[in-house]
Amino acid sequence: MSPPTAEHRVEFLRHPHPGYPHLTAWGIRIEGTDLRVLVAEATRALWSRELDEDDDTPQEREEFLLRQHAPLHLDDDADGARARAHFLGDAPPDLRDRDPGALCLLGCSCGIDACWPLLATVRVTATEVAWSGFYQPHRPNWGELPLGPYVFPRPAYDEALAAPVPLIQDPLAPLLGEG
């Protein structure tokens, strides 16, 4: 018998896209922490093997980690149906990987989501939504990132998707000297 799975809390956010304020972004918080912060922590040691510490100040390195991904810009539609479909596993082809169930949860800060995506396997059942197996397809040597798995009760997940938290700016803007 497998151990019981801990349930997590997810929030979806709607705010201006970082760097492209005319676009609307779909951000994510897990247990109140922006997913980009969680990814920064998960990739810190991996990046330290690739980056020369003498090239940047500690603040510049921290900003790099936080800016490596951006919230997704999903085509706006009146009722958010496309975004709901995406986060329930029906992602457009450019925002999924060939691995079954793997889709983009964060995009690239350049504004092209598929350029530097954070991918994870999204499994949806009648009772829960699970995110696991996070990875960066452009860094296969990193393997699976030390992130998750996250299991969300389906009713709470659906509710969060139906009513994303509206924000007037990117919640990380103050950390990035923008707020």
* Predicted confidence (pLDDT) at residue 145 exceeds the cutoff of 60: yes
- pLDDT confidence bin for 77, thresholds 50/70/90: low
State yes or no: pLDDT of 121 exceeds 80: yes
- State how beta strands 165-166 and 10-17 pair: parallel
Residue 115: CA count within 13 A, CB half-sphere: 12
Q: Model's pTM, two decimal places?
A: 0.90
| pLDDT of res. 176 | 76
| C-alpha to C-alpha distance for 81 and 85, rounded to whole angstroms | 6
